[in-house]
Structures are given as structure tokens and as C-alpha cells.
Structure 1
């Protein structure tokens, strides 16, 4: 079995674990809220709500969530970043299965179509994606930062971030000062520009996680000392970009309608994660015209599926 298959399988299990854990966390909060409502309806004024940590569902959810993230981190040591970033969309499929079997929700035709798009998109990406998983030395990783193509990509990324941040700030001003029509137009553009900035910067954490897992794998297979200025720099960059992503994610959910912002977040995150790994690790060198076309087609299928999963205001799943 190839290393990339091991990495893909670990990543799929990790993504399902993260999604399962997230749903259990939500169930724990729902149980706490339900208990509070019951006691309030009975007129029990002395009732003090327990911390959500007292609910077993929530505690189990934390374990699944943590285990899933650990597995995803491990998977980057065995497979290409572009392949694993796309496979993260499998969590949407597991989320639908959880909603159907655990929450007993009805699955609409629209959701089934969206799931089909995601599944076929992942089949294309796995079949035609990068199957190489070399182990790089720290010197090789450092050298890749000075690669001309990666430098040009970083410059374009800075431009994309700056432009969309300017777009977001301009949109805020227009909405507060302009007519209702302008507000309707910016209702879509504002979260879009916000998600692009978040995904462009936050997805860099995937690159740093890939580098760290690569060095950990190198440490286990040789006498390489994990302690170095480069290692600590990557750890710091990973914490900064991952923290930025989590902060923007939480802020975005409070600023915008989840129906609108969640698919945008996921698409931006996946797109920039794939592009960054594709350029930094020079994955384009192993692609011919057919593979490029099929990978682009697979990405398109995944993005269409994610977009279709945005629920209607008046409907559930």
C-alpha cells in the first residue's frame, strides 16, 4: 500500500472524527439548553445550569474532535497537501449521515445531489491527484521558500488579501451610508471578501502543518534533531495562522448568516490550501494535461456540492 493511500485513509477517518465530535459538542450544548428550559418552565428559580462539561455527550465529542485533528495532522506526513485539503470535504458527507441516522432528519433531494457532487469530485481528485509523498529535509523545505514560482504566488496572495480587505472595508462603508439596493448587493460581496481574506491567510496553517509532520516523520526515520530555529519558526507560524483562522471563523459566524458564510469559508479554505501546496511542493511537476483537467473538474464538483449544501431559510436538511 502506497504512503499516499495511508495518508488519505488517515485523513478521511480524521475528518469524519472531527465532524462527529463537532456534532456531539452541539448535542451537548442542546442538552444543556433543554435542561435549563425544562427547569425554567417548572418555575425552579433556584436552578443553576450545569457547565456543559458535565454532559457526557460533550465530553465524548471533545475526545472525537481532538483525535480527529491529531489524525489529520499525522496524515500530512504521508500524502500531498493538495490531495488531503480536498479530501477534507468528506466531512460534509459524514455530516449528512450523522443528521440522518442520529438526529433522524429528512434528507432532501438537493442535499443528495450536493453529496453526489462532493463524492464524485473526491473520486476525481483521488484518482488523478498527486500520489507522491517524499520526505523533505529542513534544507529542502527552506530552499522551496526561495523558489521563484512560490515567491510569485506569495506576491499574488498578498495582492488578493489586500484587495479583498479593501473591498470588505469599502462594503462596510457603502452599506452604512447607501441605499437599500446597495446593501442587498453587498450582502453577498461582504462575506465573500471576508472569507477570501480568511482562507488565504488561514490556509497557510495547512502548509506549516505539512512541514511539521514531514519533519516529525524525518525524525522518526533518521537521526535528525527536531530542535532547530526552522522547526520553532514553523511552529510559531502554524500557531499564528491557525489562530487567525479560528478567530476569523468565530467572528465571521457572528457577523454573517451561517447559511451564507459557512460554504464560502469552506470553499476559500479548500481552494487556497490546494493552491499553496500545489505551488510550494511543486506538485505541478507530476501533472500532465489530462490530470490537470481532471483535478480542476474534481475541485469544481466539490465546490458546487458545498455550495448546494447551503440550506434554505425555511427548510432543514
Structure 2
């Protein structure tokens, strides 16, 4: 594992990155990871280890407001005031460009989990030609009334309380119903994973599960709204290869239903290479579940067929 930094071209923010396989010089392909909300890139080490043996390089960065990128400037949970939804997509391109320059002969893929999946779908509208395929993991689906109302509320709160202010109520609202289908709740984060050890590690980690700023929720919901708009989806080539993956017990994805609706919309609009895989018994963090290697194998099969 090699740590390195790149500077954002949009405002020169230092972005902390990891190459999980620095000794791999001629990879078959490169998977760029966009991690989720309130976590960081190091948590994707199990996925990286699996693909190391297959000559597939994994690279990712700590997003703005997350991991070392956020911690180093004392801004965990805050990506930017009102234009974070633009900056975070451009940051993704900056790392992709870094990868392109160093591995011109390798195929390029991006895997985005949860918040990362939202960023990835927005990335495809502008930079679809930079990758050979996309893996959309743990996506929340298209914007509902809830996200649209949250967008207006978080903008109002950012204007009146301040964009960096941490509002406990809006943080609580974000996942208030996530555990409702779990009969015996052990912790408030049980919805993340069936693997209690992984849940406990998440809870104990100061770089996970932190509260986010008013403007974080504004930028998050803005990205969800943008990824749901037909005029943006129309910007993606109809032959772009996209794999959607989610747990059937994942409340963020509507227990599979939200992802099904998204994929169905894409297919009805003549997208030719869209796949959906739902995993029985898995919750939100399918890349850290007990049977995660089943997911890894499906990702490998998808990559191999591109």
C-alpha cells in the first residue's frame, strides 16, 4: 500500500490517495474506488487484496470531508459550502487523469459505493469517455420527495445556521428508519452489515460514522437530484457498461426495489449494457459482508466481459 497526494485542479485542495498495489506496474485494469459517506478509502483493503491476485490494481482517495483529506484540515463531514457537488465530481476526474497518465494501456473502471455511487453517476454525465465501465454499489436510487425536501431544508439551514454547522436533527433524519426491518437491533448501525465485527469496527473508528454539516446534506441531495434527471441521464452513451449491485436487505437501496427501478428506467431508455445483481441476506456494505467474495467475483466477471 502506497499513500500519495494529488492537488485538486478546481481549488488546489490536497487529496489523500492510496495505491493498494504499488508494485503492480502493468495491471490488466485499474479500479478507482469512490467510498461512501462518513468512511474512508482504507476500508476497501479486502476488495483490493482480492483483486491483487488477479493483476487488477485498486486506487482510491479520501473524499473531501473524509479520512485524511478531511482530517488534515479539521473538516470531517464538510466537503464545501455550496459547490461541493461540483468539486467532488471534479476531484474524481483529477484522480482518474492521474491514473490515465500512468496506466494508458490498462482498462479503467470506477466503483462507487453509496455516496460514492451518487458521485459516480454524476461523473458519467460529464466524463463517461474516461472509463470502460462503472460499478454502482449500494445506490439510494432516484430522488424521492424526501431527498427534494431535504435539499431545501439543508439549504435553508446552511444559510441561517451556517454551511459548516452540524445540525443534530438533520443528521438523525438521514438514517432514522434504516434499522426498522431488523427485529433485534444490537446497535444503531446494524443496517450496515450482518457481520457484527465489521459493525463494531465501524463504530469504534473515529473516521467513520461522524456527523455531517448542513451544506454536506445540501450537496449530497443536489447530487441525488441531478443523477435522477432525464436530461442528465441522456448524456451517457447508450452502450456504456454499468453494473448495479446492492444487498436485498439494504434499506438505502429500498431493499433492492430502488435499484430495480433505476435499472428498469435505463433499460426502457435503450441502454444496452446495464446489469443488476441483488444479494440475498446482505445489507448496505456488501463489500464487507460475510460472503463478500461472491460480490467480488461478480465484479470480476463484469470487468472480464468489458
TM-score (norm 1): 0.29
Structure of greater relative contact order (alpha carbons < 8 Å, 6+ residues apart):
1
Between Structure 1 and Structure 2, the one with more helix by share is: 1
In terms of fraction of residues, the more strand-rich structure is 2
